[in-house]
Amino acid sequence: MTAKNTWDLKSALEIYSRPFNDLMFEAQSVHRIHHNANTIQASTLLSIKTGACPEDCAYCPQSARYDTGLEREKLLPIEEVREAAKAAKELGATRFCMGAAWRNPTDKNLESVIEMIKVVQEEKLETCVTLGMLSDAQSKRLASVGLDYYNHNLDTSPEFYGEIITTRDYQDRIDTLDHVRQAGINVCSGGILGLGESREQRVGLLMQLANMDPVPESVPINLLVQVEGTPLFGTDELDPFEFVRTIATARIMMPGTYVRLSAGREDMDESLQALCFLAGANSIFYGEKLLTTSNPSYQQDMRLLERLGISIEGAGGH
C-alpha cells in the first residue's frame, strides 16, 4: 500500500503483526530503496526552558502538577545556547533541537527563541524547536527566520490520548501541525510507546502520522522513560519486540521519512538498538541528556555505531 492518506487500521495491523523475520525483511528492503542503509542522521536536543509546564501529560517530569524533584529553570541565556550548539557541531550533529516546557509560547517568548535560532544558524546547523502549541501567525513568524523543523508529537493514538493528557485535545495537536506545515516548515512528529497502550493503539498512532499529507519528514519513536512522581511510573514495561515492530511498520508505512530512535535508548541494550537500525531507524539524538532524562554518552554511541559499520550522515563518519 503506497497511496497517501489511505491507511486503515486493518491494513496497518496486518503489516505490524507479520512474522517478525518477514516484517524485518520488508522494512530493511524498503529502507534501502529510500535511504543509505549504513548512515544515520544525528541531532542534539537542548532544554532551553525547563519545568513548571501547566499541562498534565502523565509521562512528563516537567509538569507543574507532579512532584518529580525537577528544578524549575528560566529561559537559558543565549550564550549558553551558542556554546551548546558549537559543542553539538563538534561531535557531528547536523541538527540542533531546542525544547521549552510551555503550553504555548507568548509572542515575547517567541522572539527570545528566534534569537536562539539565529545563533544556531550561525553555526551552520539545521534548527528545530518544540515550544508547545502554535498559532498560525507564530508559525509564519518562525518560518520567516528560516526555522527548518518544528517538533510537535501526537504522543499516541486518538483513542488512547485522553488516558494520557486532559489539558488539551488531539485536535489541538493536529491544528498546530497544520499551522506549521502551511507556513512551510518541515514537520517532526511522532509518539511514545509503553504508555499502557494496546497494539491497535500503537498502530493507530502510525496510521495518524502516515495519513498526513505530506507525511512528516521526521518521526521520533520514543520509549517511555519512567520518572518517579509521574502517573505512569510503574507502568508495565513494553515488550522490546513490540518496539522494534513499531519501528519496522513506521518504515514501511512512511518510506521516505527519517525514523528517529529517540528517548529511552539508555534503557536499551546494544542488540536492541541494532535491531531498531535494521528495522529502519535512521536518526538518533545524541548527547548525554534529552531535555530532562539521561541518554547514552557520545562515546557509547560512537563505539556502537563503529561496531555496526554505521556512520553519521553529513559528518564524515565522526
Label residue 128 exposed, middle or buried (CB < 10 Å: 0-12, 13-18, 19+): buried
Of these residues, 95, 128, 173, 245, which one is catalytic?
Answer: 128
Considering 97, 141, 181, 265, which one is annotated as catalytic? 97
Question: Of these residues, 53, 181, 245, 276, which one is catalytic?
Answer: 53
Q: Residue 184 — left, alpha, or beta (φ > 0 → left; ψ -120 to 50 → alpha)?
A: left
* Cα 31–Cα 35–Cα 38 angle in degrees, nearest 5: 90
Would you call 276 a catalytic residue per the annotation?
Answer: no
Q: Looking at 18, 141, 168, 260, which residue is catalytic?
A: 260
Cell numbers representing residue 237 in the block:
514495561
What three-state secondary structure class fits 197?
Answer: coil
Query: Cell numbers 508495565 correspond to what residue?
Result: 236
Catalytic entry in 57, 181, 251, 265: 57
Coil/strand/helix, residue 43: strand
Angle between helices 240-253 and 9-16 (to 10 degrees): 120
Kind plus residue range of the DSSP H or E element containing 130: strand 126-130
| Burial tier of 69 (Cβ tally within 10 Å: 0-12, 13-18, 19+) | exposed
Are 56 and 37 a contacting pair, CB within 8 Å? no
Q: Is 97 a catalytic residue?
A: yes
All cell numbers assigned to 62: 516537567
Residue 188 falls in the annotated catalytic set: yes
The one catalytic residue among 18, 181, 188, 265: 188
Among all residues, which ones are annotated catalytic?
Answer: 53, 57, 60, 97, 128, 188, 260
